[in-house]
């Protein structure tokens, strides 16, 4: 059977859904077509390497009317677990599998994509300071720049948005997948919960990271080694307390 989905959301949401589709490949005999924004195709095709026979990515412009909407907004706003993100995603993926297979399959959002486990030189701290575009956190990420500069004087760090002459993933033209690999090989993470953070939610990073601070206005993750900040002031306070 060929099952088609579409998603008009941003990159992070699509990363989580490709985690879902890769797991479905191992659990079923089905093939999947996934429609996304054309601008995302080059990046997201890196997340199905080795799965090309089972998962096909196409532009939203090609979407057929029978494709299933994979935007979490269908149930998110009324859902009792909406603020506990990883628990919500199990329910969301069950919602989708019930549409297709009439049963819960209890698939989680955590990536086990083997390419993420590659060994590369890591950093003391991976700082995901990219601008969030889904309303999940304040957009004025430049207000973190002074703190990031202080961190760079004490630690070997890399950012996802340029700050002065500090190493940045943009300088190295790293993909989201590359950033996920960095997260596996780095000791600590400070992240605004935006696209580049989505690839850090994988089983190797969860096992290996020492300290993990995530900034999101409302949502949390339930695994134990993560600390949450609800605004820029809380994020700065957490950084000073842990690192400075």
Interhelix angle for 232-243 vs 145-154, to 10°?
10
User: What percent of the chain has pLDDT above 90?
Assistant: 92
Per-residue pLDDT tens over the stretch 9-23: 999 999 999 999 999
Phi/psi at 93 (5° precision): -65, -35
Q: Report the alpha-carbon distance of residue 163 to residue 208 in Å, rounded.
A: 26
Phi/psi at 8 (5° precision): -95, 5
Which tokens hold the place of 42? 């080059």
> Does the pLDDT at position 172 exceed 80?
yes
pLDDT score for 204? 96
Per-residue pLDDT tens over the stretch 119-131: 999 999 999 999 8
Per-residue pLDDT tens over the stretch 26-82: 999 999 999 999 999 999 999 999 999 999 999 999 999 999 999 999 999 999 999
For the residues 139-164, what does the mean pLDDT come to? 93
Alpha helices in the chain (DSSP H): 11-27, 41-45, 85-101, 145-154, 176-185, 195-198, 203-208, 232-243
pTM, full prediction: 0.95
Q: Is 99 helix (H, G, I), strand (E, B) or coil?
A: helix
Q: Report the alpha-carbon distance of residue 162 to residue 39 in Å, rounded.
A: 22
């Amino acid at each position: 059977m060929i099952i088609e989905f579409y998603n008009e959301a941003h990159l992070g949401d699509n990363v989580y859904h490709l985690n879902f589709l890769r797991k479905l490949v191992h659990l079923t005999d089905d093939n999947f077509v996934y429609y996304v924004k054309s601008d995302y195709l080059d990046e997201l095709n890196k997340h199905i390497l080795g799965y090309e026979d089972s998962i096909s990515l196409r532009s939203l412009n090609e979407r057929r009317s029978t494709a299933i909407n994979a935007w979490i907004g269908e149930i998110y706003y009324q859902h009792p677990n909406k603020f506990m993100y990883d628990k919500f995603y199990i329910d969301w993926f069950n919602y989708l599998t019930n549409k297709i297979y009439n049963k819960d399959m209890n698939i989680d959002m955590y990536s086990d994509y083997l390419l993420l486990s590659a060994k590369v030189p890591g950093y003391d701290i991976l700082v995901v300071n990219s601008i969030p575009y889904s309303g999940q956190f304040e957009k004025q990420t430049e207000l973190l720049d002074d703190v990031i500069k202080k961190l760079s004087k004490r630690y070997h760090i890399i950012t996802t948005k340029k700050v002065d002459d500090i190493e940045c993933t943009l300088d190295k033209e790293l993909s989201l997948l590359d950033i996920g690999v960095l997260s596996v090989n780095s000791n600590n993470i400070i992240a605004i919960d935006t696209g580049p953070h989505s690839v850090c939610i994988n089983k190797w990073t969860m096992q290996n990271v020492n300290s993990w601070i995530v900034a999101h206005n409302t949502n949390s993750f339930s695994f134990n080694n993560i600390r949450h900040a609800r605004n820029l002031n809380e994020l700065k306070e957490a950084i000073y307390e842990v690192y400075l």
